[in-house]
Structure 1
Amino acid sequence: MDVIEYRPDPSEFAWTFGGVPAIRTVSPGDALSLWTEDCFAGKVRTERDLVSQVCEFPFLNPQTGPFYVHGARPGDTLALHFVSIEPARDVGAATTVPFFGALTSDAHTATLQEALPELVWLYELDNARRTVTYHAKSADLTLELPMDPMHGTVGVAPAALEARSALVPDSHGGNLDTPELRAGVTAYFGVNVAGALFSLGDGHARQGEGEACGTGVEVAMNTVVIVELLRGVATPWPRLESDTHLMSVGAARPLENAYRVAQVDMTTWLSELCGVDRMDAYQIVAQAALAPVAQVCNPIYTVTSKISKALLPAVPAYQGVHAELRARAARLRA
């Protein structure tokens, strides 16, 4: 298996999905060892580095990519297996930003309230102990939280010549911000353009469901991902597969529509997997699916429909590619 190492120069960052030429061509079966910058483009390093002062909109969420996948065509499915996701620094940052986040007014939920205070929290990251340490600002309180690295942003170029901000999620992927996108997971994306043109970034050392304040514990990442292609297989919305669960990610606004998109896609997926009609699959979803909220802070919200494989017939999804990629990942680590 070829392993391609790539660390972008800041001049090579992509800020959109679509509308950007590929920086490398890769082939199905390749493994990529990548470095991604944090969502602040590395500009928030101290508690004095307020986002409104050190960052320039729309240059947030820099992406490593896009990568052109040899042979990928519209109507195919790109499978990305995350072998490892490891913080590249020993400090991560979380912030509040004026009129951004789930618990403040914003342009879509407008009120006459003033903005919440703009603050920066620095978290100490201990890769050996797998901890993320929080320090309160208003009291002598320190909490050790479990490290749970993930990528907030991953996806392919959208269809119809669109270029979408790396701050926005949709059917192409993008800024999904689901904590489920961790190491050991295979992510599936429908290919919309020749070469797929996938990118990733926005690493979080951990993030609560919903990403309430608008950020996780943001940090640069060292990530190893294996690329695979399923030809002639359609994937309408981003899907994830772990060893234990199948997941579909829906993006829309208001939040209930994101929930609906995820649950409808899961219903369609289970109908195909289990060999039942949509109404029978709907009943499985209604009684067995979980629906963790990924984030309610981006311009479009995301919800994950999640169902345990143990409750389903032993029929592999996507021709068993997840298990195959897990085996390749084990050989890569050996």
Structure 2
Amino acid sequence: MTAVDTIIYRPVRDEFAYTFGGRMPVAHVRSGDILQVHTEDCFGGLVRGPADLPSQVCRMPYLNPASGPFFVEDAEPGDTLAVHVVSIVPARNWGVSSTFPHFGALTSTSHTASLQPPLEERVWRYDIDQQAVVVRFHATKSGHSVDLPLEPMIGTIGVAPAGMEVRSTIVPDRHGGNLDTPELRAGTTVYFGVNMHGAMLALGDGHARQGEGEACGVGVEVATVTTLTVEVIKGVSTAWPRLETDREIMSIGCARPLEDAYRVAHRDLVAWTSQLTGLDDLDAYQLMSQAGRAPIGNVCDPNYTVLAAVDKGLLPQPQPVHDGVHARLRQRAAGLR
């Protein structure tokens, strides 16, 4: 049996990636290896409180840094890379969020132009209490504060795109990228189609928590220490990112307008369900229509993200996804605790 390595990667500032594709690998990993990755927040740690307006302390296009890419041995185009999220631990006891003048769901943008005044640029600092497992919101114009559950997630994760493309880490698409879904939490396995030799996995943009849709365009941004384990599934292609938890399977669609992202996700989940269960496509479609969930990832990035999810317990004797890789990686992760 091949020995399993634990690879710890802590990038220095000039090592961060701002694209998927077009980068040399920072390390090589094999199926079964444990990868502990230090990630930075979307502002590169430069926004620390209300006085640090992103437009003044950050420099475009150097937003949304990712750690990586990691070359995965034996991963070839046409394969699928399974990535199990073992844990996501905030690396600081604070996080930040913000509003921007022409960014987010409730303001005019370059694509949705209007005569309304742009939003004020403002920063909120959140306290993170890992012992109490809470994130503390403080209003900026009153004394109101409230504790919200600490629910760490990875906003950006993916592989190199197809066709030798280079894509900004801000963009979500078939290769993954800035998916911004709270479903990317510890205990989830995400499946990516491999587009180039070595897959070139990268991740970053941790959130201490985020509401569905990420309405203002910014979660509670935080640096993390994220632990992963990976496995290459040979000869099986995956067109769009897919997720599996102990309870559900989920397909991800990324597009504009929002309804096209919805359609992509649900078309993929219908096909996946039919493949796993033998259900007729229309029977699977009907079941998704009555029993499915459609959590929204984001409504602010260059592409929007929508998920289609269904409880595995509602499916008729589904085949284990990729011969049970989620359970296998989950068991491996349990041995790390």
Q: Deviations over 1:289-314 (max 9, x none)?
A: 11011110101100010111111134
Q: Deviations over 1:45-101 (max 9, x none)?
A: 121100111111111110000000001000100010000001000010000112000
Matches within 5 A, 1:151-230: 151-230=154-233
Structure 1 residue 287: Cα displacement: 1.7
Q: Measure, in 2, the Cα distance between the counterparts of 1:43 and 1:139.
A: 25
1:326 and 2:330 are equivalent in the alignment = yes
Task: For 1:204, give the aligned amino acid.
Answer: H
Structure 2 residue aligned with 1:137: 140
Matches within 5 A, 1:1-334: 1-314=4-317, 315-333=319-337
Task: For 2:193, give the aligned amino acid.
Answer: G
CA RMSD of aligned residues (A): 0.8
Task: For 2:326, give the aligned amino acid.
Answer: H
Q: Measure, in 1, the Cα distance between the counterparts of 2:333 and 2:300.
A: 33
Question: What SS class does the counterpart of residue 113 from structure 1 fall into?
Answer: coil
Task: For 1:15, give the aligned amino acid.
Answer: Y
Question: What SS class does the counterpart of residue 332 from structure 1 fall into?
Answer: coil
Q: Measure, in 2, the Cα distance between the counterparts of 1:215 and 1:46.
A: 14
Q: Measure, in 1, the Cα distance between the counterparts of 2:202 and 2:316.
A: 33
Q: Measure, in 1, the Cα distance between the counterparts of 2:177 and 2:233.
A: 20
Return 273-282 or 10-19, whichever deviates more.
273-282
Task: For 2:256, give the aligned amino acid.
Answer: R
Task: For 2:313, give the aligned amino acid.
Answer: A
Structure 1 residue 200: Cα displacement: 0.2
Question: What SS class does the counterpart of residue 104 from structure 2 fall into?
Answer: coil
Q: Deviations over 1:172-229 (max 9, x none)?
A: 0000000000000001000000000010000000000000011000000001000111
Q: Measure, in 2, the Cα distance between the counterparts of 1:317 and 1:217.
A: 32
Q: Measure, in 2, the Cα distance between the counterparts of 1:97 and 1:52.
A: 9
Q: Measure, in 2, the Cα distance between the counterparts of 1:126 and 1:310.
A: 35
Question: What SS class does the counterpart of residue 227 from structure 1 fall into?
Answer: strand
Determine what percentage of the aligned residue pairs are the same residue.
Answer: 58
Q: Measure, in 2, the Cα distance between the counterparts of 1:284 and 1:196.
A: 34
Q: Measure, in 1, the Cα distance between the counterparts of 2:175 and 2:305.
A: 13
Task: For 1:282, give the aligned amino acid.
Answer: Y
Structure 1 residue 112: Cα displacement: 1.4
Q: Measure, in 2, the Cα distance between the counterparts of 1:35 and 1:163.
A: 23
Q: Measure, in 2, the Cα distance between the counterparts of 1:307 and 1:110.
A: 36
The count of residues paired between Structure 1 and Structure 2 equals 333
Return 182-191 or 281-290, whichever deviates more.
281-290
Q: Which runs of 5+ in 1 are unaligned?
A: none
Q: Measure, in 2, the Cα distance between the counterparts of 1:98 and 1:86.
A: 31
TM-score of the aligned structures, taking structure 1 as reference length: 0.98
Structure 1 residue 276: Cα displacement: 2.3
